[in-house]
Amino acid sequence: MTSIDFLGNPDARLVLYLPHRPAGLDSFAHAPSAEVIVAANSNHWRKIINLLAKVVSPVADDWRAFRDSRLFNEAALCFAPEVGGQEGWHWIAGQANRERFAGFECQARTLPDDTGIAVDWPRKLLLSPYPDYRQLSNQRVERIRALLGQAGFYAGMGS
């Protein structure tokens, strides 16, 4: 069992918190890449990586190229049940995952058009369904992108 709790840029613009680690984490933790993570794991991890890229990519239609070249420069994965001190956004995905964060208080408010997504603006905290296509549809990804855009998340990222 690995003790690695963080994968990606320590100064990431967005950290996605997940309850489990990908297989082979020890072998690619020093240089994470979407391609290597997906190759070493199941279709489940392909979905997670793709949805993360769709959210973080500065150009919505260019998420595949972004995933393959820059994803882990701008984003990170955290497997510990505590929100870190990074200045960027923190994304806790999935109800069961949220329950791991015992004692964590936030003022997240649900979106009026989607009660499955909530945001705590001062803390830069996003709560959403688990990153799976059934739970985190393209429509929900668009909503998340819109609110991150309102917060200036994509400013200065280039294309």
Q: Count CB atoms within 10 A of the CB of residue 14.
A: 21
Residue 1 lies in a domain: no
Structural domain includes residue 156: no
Question: Does residue 32 sit within a domain?
Answer: yes
157 falls within a domain = no
Please report whether residue 159 resides in a domain.
no
pLDDT class of 86 with cuts at 50, 70, 90: confident
Is residue 155 included in any domain, yes or no?
A: no
Average pLDDT taken over every residue of the chain: 92
Domain coverage including residue 131: 6-150
pLDDT score of 1? 38
Q: How far apart are CA 133 and CA 124, in angstroms?
A: 24
Residues 27-65: pLDDT tens digits?
888 889 999 999 999 899 999 999 999 999 999 999 999
On whether the CB atoms of residues 53 and 71 are closer than 8 A, the answer is: yes
Domain count, the chain: 1
pLDDT tens digits, one per residue of 117-156: 999 999 999 999 999 989 999 999 999 999 999 999 999 8
Work out the number of other CB atoms within 10 angstroms of the CB of residue 64.
13
> Rounded to two decimals, what is the model's pTM?
0.94
